[in-house]
Amino acid sequence: MRIALGSDHAGLCLKREIAAQLTSLGHEPLDFGTQGTASVDYPDFAEKVARAIQSGDCAKGVLVCGTGVGMCIAANKFRGIRAALCTCELEARMTRQHNDANILCLGERVIGVELARAIAEAFFATAFAGGRHQVRLDKIAAIERGEAQR
């Protein structure tokens, strides 16, 4: 699977660890930056990864910042993006099964590398369950289109 990766300066090291892991699992990671330790703004990289998924260039993505929270908030502003911040394997499995999450968000300052690897492995190994969960995703899509009652 072609997977878009992005981080800010606070997520750089963990992003590189996950990139290596994804390669070893047979995936094709595509790194949209940042590539250095200079302070940058996480929404810029959330946008690059979200756009790569919207265009179909990449099937899924991984975004890493200090907490994972900012990346998650920013990525979810883009239509069709379902970004999930995961801090354990259960969340990773469930968000794939129930939410069909297409971006995994991680916080380098929150979790260790081994846990992050286990989360990423679970995320990319788990399929969407469909069925009643698709009905709920359709409602989210309707909200994005502005069709929901307010």
Report the catalytic residues: 65, 98
Q: Does 100 bind ligand RB5 (CB under 6 A)?
A: no
Q: How many CB atoms lie within 10 A of CB 39?
A: 9
Cβ atoms 33, 58 nearer than 8 A: no
Q: Does 42 bind ligand RB5 (CB under 6 A)?
A: yes
Cβ atoms 68, 107 nearer than 8 A: yes
Q: How many CB atoms lie within 10 A of CB 150?
A: 4
Cβ atoms 21, 120 nearer than 8 A: yes
Q: Does 76 bind ligand RB5 (CB under 6 A)?
A: no
Kindly tell me which residue out of 4, 10, 52, 103 binds ligand RB5, with binding defined by CB under 6 A: 10
Span of 27-35, 67-75, 80-88, 135-143 interacting with ligand RB5 by CB under 6 A = 67-75
Kindly tell me which residue out of 70, 95, 100, 122 binds ligand RB5, with binding defined by CB under 6 A: 70
List 30's β-bridge partners, or say none. Answer: 4
Q: Does 65 bind ligand RB5 (CB under 6 A)?
A: yes
Size of the site for ligand RB5 (CB under 6 A): 8
Q: Does 6 bind ligand RB5 (CB under 6 A)?
A: no
Based on CB atoms, which residue is closest to ligand RB5, 75 or 92? 75
Q: Does 102 bind ligand RB5 (CB under 6 A)?
A: no
Kindly tell me which residue out of 14, 21, 46, 67 binds ligand RB5, with binding defined by CB under 6 A: 67
Binding site for ligand RB5 (CB under 6 A): 8, 10, 42, 65-67, 69-70
